[in-house]
Amino acid sequence: MERFQHYIDGRFEDGSASFESLDPATGEPWALMPEARAEDVDRAVRAAHRAFHASEWAGLTATARGRLLLRLADLVQTAAPRLAQLETRDTGKIIRETSAQIAYVAEYYRYYAGLADKIEGAHLPIDKPDMEVWLRREPVGVVAAIVPWNSQLFLSAVKLGPALAAGCTVVLKASEDGPAPLLAFARLVHEAGFPPGVVNILTGFGPTCGVALTTHPLVNHVAFTGGPETARAVVRNSAENLASTSLELGGKSPFLVFADADLDSAANAQVSGIFAATGQSCVAGSRLLVERRVRDAFLDKLRLKAEAIRVGAPHEMSTEMGPLCTRRQRDRMVDVIRASVAAGARLVTGGGTWEGPGFFVQPTILDCTEAPQAPCLGTEIFGPVLSVQAFDDEDHAVHLANGSPYGFAAGIFTTNLTRAHRLVRRLRAGVVWVNTYRAISPIAPFGGHGLSGHGREGGLAAALDYTTIKTVWLRISDDPIPDPFVMR
């Protein structure tokens, strides 16, 4: 089996323990991963703390930090095929998705390389004539960045990029599920020439690694991507060190299709929105809300497309949907599907697992129009399961769309431009796509409301999350400051 190591303080090393990683396509172990425990975490955080204050990093100009990020971007682009193979092997995400996504990850590092020397302060027109006052934006300090297994190179780039551009140092925890690509990415960080301790990458389990990291007294900010339950634990842990937090959490994103929409285009976007990445995406369009008078026609289109999806080995370029990442995820998904059918949902297609090895679930569509209490409507399933409800008019559509504690993304398909503008205002979501879905760019921030978290990743907004404001007062009068206790 392949063996991987942590990257701490500029060195590659084994963990306090190790564990096997399973290939989701076969269910068999294929690699040995290092397991970080409290002592490993402490060394990583202390290394990041030292590096934050050391002249090798703190003394660099913002432009010089940008050059390091540009070097990292070039290395990521060159290594993309190898990283894609690792992500596919360790997470089950199909190779044509990992290849395309990781190649684009380099653009995020390039964007933040260019932004590094453009994080500006401000001059204040203060109301005191003998004072000059300005604001400096300075790095917040040591960042604990925690990412899940899905799209982990992307989800680490939207944390590492802005944090390093702002001048922070980082301890990055890869998920215990599928950490291989991030542990391999550490080689690129090393080759790019970042000073030791600026970036540290490790993996381990929540109770032994995650808790030690998020409660560490030298951590100043926690950037977390994952589910709401774990996020609640992260927030409770941050009470120990009063670290600020940015949370990119789950979603149950509504996908609204009106009768006047281009139904073929909407069907293609919906298939991509729920079955791409095997539905394992925080912005998956998992709730289809379709105008009642086109529901049957639209579901027929979706059923045919879902049943035509080529499910198979993730490393083959012909495969269109691969396995889920873990056995527990597959089993939980099957339970939710069965409970939803028992609650009255109509199974349009799918609903079962595939025979043979691996953690496969069929592309599944559940019509819940007559089953408003079906568990699939409110549960973030994180897999290839689409829940459907019909609406009668615009107000009904908005009521259904906003009837969720999540608020990450939403999609609107309509040819009525004024309706689209109205809905953009009314939908509670951090990202709204109109006549498209899942479009991303390093220039555009993303994030959510409610159980979908707070803070933003991508764009200038993300970089500002890793800064703190320092207010500077300068007295410009040559007159001596009067004695405050002498009456005049």
Residue 486 pLDDT grade (very low, low, confident, very high; cuts 50, 70, 90)? confident
Cα(451)–Cα(128) distance, rounded to whole angstroms?
Answer: 44
pLDDT of residue 212: 97
- The one catalytic residue in 35, 87, 97, 248 is 248
What is the pLDDT averaged over residues 356-367?
Answer: 92
Residues 162 and 112: beta-carbon distance below 8 Å: yes
Q: Could you tell me the CA-to-CA distances from 450 to 346, 407, 447 in Å, in that order?
A: 29, 6, 10
Nearest partner of 171 among 233, 223, 208, 207, judged by Cα:
223
Q: What's the Rg (C-alpha) of the chain?
A: 24
Nearest partner of 464 among 121, 25, 89, judged by Cα:
121
| Tokens linked to 242 | 């009063």
Query: Quick one: what percent of the chain has pLDDT higher than 70?
Result: 100
Q: Domains in the chain, start-ordered, CATH in brackets?
A: 2-249+452-473 (3.40.605.10), 254-434 (3.40.309.10)
What is the pLDDT averaged over residues 166-170?
Answer: 98
pLDDT of residue 354: 76
**Tens of pLDDT, residues 305-358:** 999 999 999 999 999 999 998 888 899 999 999 999 999 999 999 998 877 788
Residues 165 and 66: beta-carbon distance below 8 Å: yes
Residue 1 pLDDT grade (very low, low, confident, very high; cuts 50, 70, 90)? confident
Decide if pLDDT at 3 tops 90: yes
Long-range contacts of 344-347 (CB under 8 A, 24+ apart): 344/368, 344/370, 344/371, 344/373, 344/374, 345/371, 345/374, 345/376, 345/387, 346/370, 346/371
Average confidence score pLDDT of the chain: 96
**Tens of pLDDT, residues 176-197:** 999 999 999 999 999 999 999 9
Give the DSSP H/E element, type plus range, for residue 7: strand 6-8
Map tokens 């940008």 to a residue. 66
**Tens of pLDDT, residues 91-149:** 999 999 999 999 999 999 999 999 999 999 999 999 999 999 999 999 999 999 999 98
Name the residue with higher pLDDT: 142 or 15. 142
Cα(259)–Cα(301) distance, rounded to whole angstroms?
Answer: 14
Measured in whole angstroms, how far is the alpha carbon of residue 43 from the centre of its chain?
26
pLDDT of residue 243: 98
Contacts of 396 (CB under 8 A, 6+ apart): none
pLDDT of residue 256: 98
**Tens of pLDDT, residues 278-290:** 999 989 999 999 9
pLDDT of residue 309: 96
Residues 202 and 41: beta-carbon distance below 8 Å: yes
| Tokens linked to 143 | 């960042």
| Tokens linked to 415 | 């040819």
Query: Which residue stretches of 122-227 are H helix?
Result: 152-166, 180-192, 211-214
pLDDT of residue 487: 78
* Half-sphere exposure in the Cβ direction for 385 (13 Å, CA): 34
Nearest partner of 445 among 158, 240, 164, 244, judged by Cα:
158
| Tokens linked to 282 | 């925080």
Cα(220)–Cα(6) distance, rounded to whole angstroms?
Answer: 22
Map tokens 């300075």 to a residue. 138
Classify 318 as helix, strand or coil: coil
Residues 246 and 224: beta-carbon distance below 8 Å: yes
Q: Tell me how crowded residue 28 is: count the other CB atoms within 10 A of its CB.
A: 12
pLDDT of residue 39: 97
Residue 158 pLDDT grade (very low, low, confident, very high; cuts 50, 70, 90)? very high
Tell me, yes or no, if 248 is annotated catalytic. Answer: yes
Cα(237)–Cα(86) distance, rounded to whole angstroms?
Answer: 32
Q: Tell me how crowded residue 1 is: count the other CB atoms within 10 A of its CB.
A: 11
| Tokens linked to 378 | 């409110």
Cα(357)–Cα(371) distance, rounded to whole angstroms?
Answer: 33
Helix pair angle (95-115, 152-166), 10° resolution: 10
